[in-house]
Amino acid sequence: MSIYDQAFPHYQPIIALSDSRIYGYEVLGRYIDPTGQVQSLGSFFIDPALSELEKIRIDRNIRSQALKRLQRETNKLIFFNLNPLWMLKNLREGVHPVLLEDLRQRKIKGERIVIEIAETIIKEHINELKPIVKLYRNYGCKIAIDDFTFSDFDRLIHFKPDIVKMSMHLLRMSRDSYEYFRLIETVSRFSQELGMHVLFEGVEDESDLAKVVEAGGGLVQGYLFSRGDADFQDDQEFRPLVSKALQSVMDQRFAIQQDLIDLHEHLQTQAAGFTLASDDEDLMDQTLGQWARQLGPGVLRLYACRSNGIQISSNIMISETKEISSDSSYRDFNWAWRPFFVHNMAAMRKTGTGVISDPYIDHHTRLQIATFSFPAGDNVFVFLDYQLAAPSA
């Protein structure tokens, strides 16, 4: 019996974090090996000994079986991973997309179909693929960029997919790297600002799921939930697992915010009544240095600025042994470009009290810090960089 005759679809669930329900299913090719075990067809699709025609026949056979099953369901959403090179070949030969014809014949609405296209192929053939993608979109299908990496952010802008499917490699790298975690967090935020869903595949355990929740992913997929099955699963099967992860991350975020609130209150108390005359630079540095010695552990540096962002004092640094040093080279630097500056300055001018930034990594020390700032005179604002606990990977 040939692989064509043995091939059949399995369905791997994709879960939405918003309601903890199954959002849809990715169709995966499977076959039974001589020992009776279900195996992936992935190796066959990259086997150079197998002709392209045979690969296309197997792919269409699996897809046909999945669509036949979809006809018996009412509200299921199916993800098909289409080979863009085959799509381009048909386009160049004037052949209308076979899947679209199949959908029309079976009277399956496009809104129940997501077309996955590999990001690496999009990069090479973006202009040629656009007409094909338009055909699928016109029918109502959603488009997903599969295996997305950081190398081609501009593809999101040019291609405007409905779903960005993050590479498993990126999730794995984020397990042990705070920097990689911030990168996937950035992609999530950027994609959502453009109206795209973000899907993380390769979620293998609960720590992976927690990472995705922290990073702002909206959809998840992986062995933690299912390796794929011949049948669809109960829509709410994974609700307890997802709810547990959401609550865990929420508790962690609440704890971080409470720590920041406590730190804000502590520093606000220390700053109460502190004023700084700005007409004498040396006196200003001396006053800041004297006050720095009274501050508790955790303070890395402090300095003074005008409301326009111009630094008017030296940087006053505090060592772990309470040694005070200064660096006047930072005078006249403009910090208005920093992400938190305008927001915090507006808040200080409005309330007359101090504010604290979100945590971030300090450029010089590579430590995680937060910046507390408060008004200390006529158009004088003191900024205090405070070291926080090291971020988890």
- Write the pLDDT tens digit of every residue in 193-251: 889 999 999 999 999 999 999 999 999 999 999 999 999 999 999 999 999 999 999 99
Q: Could you give the CA distance from residue 281 to residue 301 in angstroms, rounded to a whole number?
A: 17
Tens digits of residue pLDDT in 288-325: 999 998 888 899 999 999 999 999 999 999 988 888 99
pLDDT for the residue 392: 55
Q: How confident is the model at residue 120 (pLDDT cuts 50, 70, 90)?
A: low
Tell me: the pLDDT tens digits for 137-188?
999 999 998 888 776 677 777 778 999 998 888 888 888 888 888 888 988 8
Asked if residue 109 has pLDDT above 90, the reply is: yes
pTM recorded for the entire structure: 0.85
Q: Grade residue 122 by pLDDT with cuts at 50, 70 and 90.
A: low
Residue 376: per-residue pLDDT: 95
pLDDT > 90 fraction of the chain, expressed in percent and rounded:
60
Q: Using an 8 Å Cβ cutoff, are 391 and 359 in contact?
A: yes
161 DSSP 8-state letter: -
Contact 329, 303 (CB under 8 A): no
C-alpha Rg value of the chain to the nearest Å: 28
In CATH, which superfamily holds the domain spanning 259-387?
Answer: PAS domain (3.30.450.20)
Dist CA 225 CA 247 (whole Å): 18
Residues 62, 80: Cα–Cα separation, whole Å: 10
Provide the CB-side half-sphere exposure for 61 (13 A, CA): 17
Write phi, then psi, for 82 (nearest 5 degrees): -95, 140
Closest C-alpha to 333, from 354, 359, 314, 361: 314
pLDDT surpassing 70 at residue 13: yes
- Separation of CA 89 from chain center: 33
Rounded Cα gap, residues 200 and 180, in angstroms: 14
- Residue 34: phi and psi, rounded to 5, are -60, -20
- Indicate the pLDDT class of residue 121, thresholds 50, 70 and 90: low
pLDDT of residue 27: 97
Mean per-residue pLDDT, 272-294: 89
pLDDT for 52-93, tens place per residue? 888 889 999 999 999 999 999 888 999 999 888 888 887 787
Spatial separation of the C-alpha atoms in residues 34 and 128, rounded to whole Å: 42
Strands 324-327 and 355-356: unpaired
pLDDT of residue 50: 83
**Per-residue tokens: 313:** 């004092």
Least confident of 223-232, 273-282, 299-308, 335-344: 273-282
The secondary structure element, H or E, covering residue 32 is: strand 22-32
Closest CA to 93 of 123, 138, 132: 132
Domain 3-229+236-252 has CATH 3.20.20.450: yes
Q: Phi and psi at residue 199, in whole multiples of 5°?
A: -115, 125
Can you list the alpha helix ranges (DSSP code H) found in 304-379? 341-351
Location of each CATH 3.30.450.20 domain in the chain: 259-387
Q: How far is 292 from 295, CA to CA, in rounded Å?
A: 5
Kindly report which listed range (124-138, 147-161, 337-351) carries the lowest average pLDDT score.
147-161
Q: What is the percent of the chain with per-residue pLDDT over 70, rounded to a whole number?
A: 97
Instruction: Report the pLDDT value the prediction gives residue 33, as an integer from 0 to 100.
Output: 86
The residue with greater pLDDT, 284 or 95, is 284
Compute the mean pLDDT over every residue in the chain, rounded to the nearest whole number.
90
Angle between helices 178-193 and 206-215 (to 10 degrees): 50
Residue 344: the pLDDT is 93
**pLDDT in the model for residue 83:** 84
Say what the pLDDT of residue 390 is: 61
CB 7 within 8 Å of CB 43: no
Question: Where does the chain hold its CATH 3.20.20.450 domain(s)?
Answer: 3-229+236-252
Q: Distance between CA 350 and CA 228 in Å, rounded?
A: 56
Task: Classify strands 315-318 and 299-305 as parallel, antiparallel or unpaired.
Answer: antiparallel
Alpha-carbon gap, residue 281 to 310, rounded angstroms:
14
